[in-house]
Amino acid sequence: MKLDKTGPLEYSTQQNQMNILGFWIFLGAEIMLFGTLFASYFTLENGVGNGPTGAEIFEIAPVIWETIILLTSSFTIGLAVHAMRINRKNATLTFLAITLVLGLAFLGIEIYEFTHYYHVGATLQTSAFTAILLTTLGTHGAHVTFGLFWGAFIFLQIKKRGFTPETTNKSFIFSLYWHFLDVVWIFIFSFIYLKGLM
Amino acid sequence: MEFFERFAIPHPSPLIYASMVGIGLTVIAIVIGLTYFKKWGYLWREWLTTVDHKRIGLMYIISAILMLFRGGVDGIMMRLQTAVPDNTFLDAQHYNEVFTTHGIVMIIFMAMAFIIGMMNFVVPLQIGARDVAFPRLNAISFWLYFAGAMLFNISFVIGGSPDAGWTNYFPLAGTDFSQSVGVNYYMWALQISGLGTLMTGINFIVTILKMRAPGMTLMKMPMFTWSALITNVIIVFAFPVLTIALLMGTFDRQFGTHFFASTNGGMDMLWANLFWVWGHPEVYILILPAFGVYSEVIATFSSRNLYGYKSMVGSMVLISFMSFLVWVHHFFTMGHGPLVNGIFSVTTMAIAVPTGIKIFNWLLTMWKGKIRFTVPMLYSIGFIPLFTIGGVTGVMLAIASADYQYHNTMFLVAHFHNVIIPGVVFAMLAGLTYWWPKMFGFMLNERIGKWGFWFLSIGFCLAFFPMYITGLDGQARRMFTYSAETGFGPLNMVSFIGAALMAIAFILIVYNVYYSFRYAPRNVGQDPWDARSLEWATHNPVPEYNFAVTPEVNSSQAFWDSKKNNHQLFKEKRSKIHMPNNSGVPVIMAGFFFVFGFSFVFSIWIGVIIAALGIFACMAYRTFENDHGRYISLKEIEETEKKYGGAK
């Protein structure tokens, strides 16, 4: 395997470069996925039937906390990649762990939010609006859950194998994924919650 | 016993019971055959676990041909049912199921698989690569497609077929009007195979962008590779829309949501919109690789380079962009007013312009060329006028106000078969015949192949041209029968005869494979067609590592240059070659996906959970696995090359 020593380790082999490009294209597909959800959301937003509207069920406090926590986790995963580039294994592992704990906290609040919706009578079956709301949030939440497992597996691999072209490549790609979830959340925050509360 | 009642067929008929017995006997025969000839190990080592793009391509193509016959039988059954007025061969429900499965099988499991199979086999060879960018992912793509196809195909013997048309419009596809589990099968079969297709899309974009031979800039790629690149870009942007639509459809049917209902705030036309936002790019996913095949074949057999290379590329890019801007023309009658209809009417007509450019480029490639009328060339020449007729009737359909007359009639059915059969099916047969020596090292018989072509072309014209007339006279599509007073009888009989001729054509094509396998000479050499592009610069059939030495390229027809213009393709010395290892994980993971889909269809949640855990276990296994591939030693390469006669 040819190693290119000039760039960062995660770009050092041709396979690594292809993995990163492939993941960017995958994120393009993910944009279409969430774009479709948003388009459907805007279509069905006013289809509340006999159910509640967004303004009636949204609570700003948990949403703000979710936003702060997820944005912070995006910052810490960035620090993890930075630590990786300057070859600091323990720092990388620490920041990765913080990221995952923040992700878990986000998920916890989201679960609380879902039970709140359930108690105020906004379930999947209530109306088209509640269904698309919960589907959009749920798809994002499922991505975060998947990311938690993925990140934990990468944590274990770095711990065991140290920085290799493979582990750095995986960590970098994971960081792209995590940042992307953050971007999606910003759209959810702005166009679902803030718009709904107005 | 109550548990098993859900698997019963809602509309049993002797035909379905006969199929059940047939499927059972075939499975038993395959199992006994594999055991008796001790082929299980061979099957596992060489095929089920392979990550070789050539073998995956072949598996796609073989599956596609099987699906062609399944879908073809559905088609023949429809033509038989409507051949005479008031026929009772199929009842209304059975007819609904047959036209639904015909559409899905032909588009998703036949045409898509054929195209992706062809891309798998040809693209890495055309760009001088050893394999695709992600060989393991490629195997997962194939096995997910296969799991989806099998899931779809067992529907008619376990639980019932989908019956709401391949477009599956809600509320017809909702649980009120389609009560069997059929549409659940539709949702999950498409979801699983669609995931595989999306991964193929990513895989091929990276392959084509990153793994081209030295010297092959983007504008020096062979045209089929260009068409594959653009197609895969469309795949990546179109398929996620389908993913979400299917997810919402599943929720509506199985979790009681109201996305596509007309109560509780739902909107039934949302399905139609989402479906066609995916569905219209999908038809260009089908046709662009077909255009690529024709470009290769016409250039080769006219002994000329492709006319208007840049405009070919430009028109494909334009088509891919515009394919996302025309979806509303599938439901002009929905009632969204003249402005919206007008806009989509114009975009639809505009897409005929780049398509027309391509037609003229092919004609000008043949102009003053030395044309050889081989089987692939016959299909390509047949394609041009037939496809043009399909295109012109497409522009007729694009006129929104006139569309109120044709909408949902046999005119539409005639139109889209007129573009898909001479477009995609002819291209796949042309490509298969053209690249056959590349795949297997012998040629298909030309004489039988020509008979096949004429039967198929004449059968096609007889089967579909009458539908234009009955459609304009008001024969609605998807009606299982009609009365004698309508006067549709004679023309429908002509259609049936045409369909029968097409069936004969396909039997001839399969017989040709058998005949050529037995009698065709095996020493066809490296270049049986006097071809032009890079895939012909290696041996037939292709060795595992494709090229012993990475070729160097300076034009889109590198092989022609090496033959006629003293271009030296292979400059480097041979050295050991790095190859990926085989893996059983993709096929096992697809098995879990199959169980997942099947359990979900019948709402067996314990099965869903177990299968989901299995899928995640496969992914976890993969991330912890340490697999650095293997090397083919120089000695092994020398021996292989010597066996082929070793000049190159």
Nearest CA in chain A to B250: A135
B251 with A21: Cβ contact below 8 A: no
CA dihedral B162, B252, A43, A34 (to 10 degrees): -90
Asked if residue B371 has pLDDT above 90, the reply is yes
CATH superfamily, domain B1-284, is: Cytochrome c oxidase-like, subunit I domain (1.20.210.10)
Share of chain B above pLDDT 90, in %: 85
B236 with A28: Cβ contact below 8 A: yes
Nearest CA in chain B to A164: B626
Is the minimum CB–CB distance between B550 and chain A shorter than 8 Å?
no
Q: Where are the domains of chain B?
A: 1-284
The angle formed by the CA atoms of residues B169, B170 and B176, to the nearest 5 degrees, is: 130
Is the minimum CB–CB distance between B621 and chain A shorter than 8 Å?
no
Pairwise CA distance, residues B337 & B319, whole Å: 26
Mean pLDDT of B196-213: 96
Number of A/B CB contacts below 8 angstroms equals 121
> A29: distance to nearest CA of chain B, Å?
5
Note the pLDDT of residue B13. Answer: 83
- Tell me the CATH number of domain A10-44+58-197, given options 1.10.10.10, 1.20.120.80, 1.20.1530.20, 3.30.420.40: 1.20.120.80
pLDDT band at B648 (very low <50, low <70, confident <90, very high): very low
A33 with B240: Cβ contact below 8 A: yes
Tell me which chain B residues have a C-beta less than 8 angstroms from the C-beta of A25.
201-202, 205-206, 236
> A187: distance to nearest CA of chain B, Å?
18
B258 with A49: Cβ contact below 8 A: yes
Is the minimum CB–CB distance between A51 and chain B shorter than 8 Å?
yes
Pairwise CA distance, residues B425 & B430, whole Å: 8
Tens digit of pLDDT for each residue in A32-82? 999 999 999 999 999 998 999 999 999 999 999 999 999 999 999 999 999
**Between A138 and B5, the higher pLDDT residue:** A138
Tens digit of pLDDT for each residue in B151-166? 999 998 899 999 999 9
Which candidate in A1, A2, A18 is best for mutational testing of the B interface (most B CBs within 10 A)?
A18
Q: ipTM of this predicted complex? A: 0.95
Q: Check if the beta carbon of residue B354 is closer than 8 Å to that of residue B323.
A: no
Tell me which chain B residues have a C-beta less than 8 angstroms from the C-beta of A129.
265
State whether the Cα torsion B476-B482-B483-B484 is positive or negative: positive
Tell me which chain B residues have a C-beta less than 8 angstroms from the C-beta of A170.
623
Mean pLDDT of A8-37: 94
Tell me which chain B residues have a C-beta less than 8 angstroms from the C-beta of A19.
134
Report pTM: 0.95
Separation in Å, CA B90 to CA B15, B36, B83, B95, B218: 10, 40, 12, 6, 53
Q: Where are the domains of chain A?
A: 10-44+58-197
Mean pLDDT of chain B: 93
> A51: distance to nearest CA of chain B, Å?
8
Reply yes or no: is the peptide bond before residue B541 cis, omega within 30 of 0. yes
Reply yes or no: is the peptide bond before residue B171 cis, omega within 30 of 0. yes
> A72: distance to nearest CA of chain B, Å?
27
B623 with A154: Cβ contact below 8 A: yes
Residue B579 is inside which H or E element, if any? strand B577-579
Pairwise CA distance, residues B312 & B355, whole Å: 9
Tell me which chain B residues have a C-beta less than 8 angstroms from the C-beta of A30.
240
B134 with A22: Cβ contact below 8 A: yes
A149 with B266: Cβ contact below 8 A: no
Pairwise CA distance, residues A109 & A98, whole Å: 17
Note the pLDDT of residue B12. Answer: 81
Q: Check if the beta carbon of residue B222 is closer than 8 Å to that of residue B561.
A: no
Tell me which chain B residues have a C-beta less than 8 angstroms from the C-beta of A40.
244, 248, 259, 270, 274
Is the minimum CB–CB distance between B241 and chain A shorter than 8 Å?
yes
Asked if residue B471 has pLDDT above 50, the reply is yes
Note the pLDDT of residue B361. Answer: 96
pLDDT band at B565 (very low <50, low <70, confident <90, very high): confident
Is the minimum CB–CB distance between B210 and chain A shorter than 8 Å?
yes
How many other C-beta atoms are found inside a 10 Å radius of the C-beta of residue B614?
17
> A102: distance to nearest CA of chain B, Å?
22
Tens digit of pLDDT for each residue in B404-462? 999 999 999 999 999 999 999 999 999 999 999 999 999 999 999 999 999 999 999 99
Chain centroid, CA B50 distance in Å: 21
Is the minimum CB–CB distance between B205 and chain A shorter than 8 Å?
yes
Nearest CA in chain A to B576: A1
**From the list B251, B267, B274, which residue is nearest A47 (CB)?**
B267
Give one DSSP letter per residue of B467-514, joined into a string: HHHHHHTTPBTT-S---GGG--HHHHHHHHHHHHHHHHHHHHHHHHHH
pLDDT band at B11 (very low <50, low <70, confident <90, very high): confident
Is the minimum CB–CB distance between A71 and chain B shorter than 8 Å?
no
Tell me which chain A residues have a C-beta less than 8 angstroms from the C-beta of B202.
22, 25-26, 29
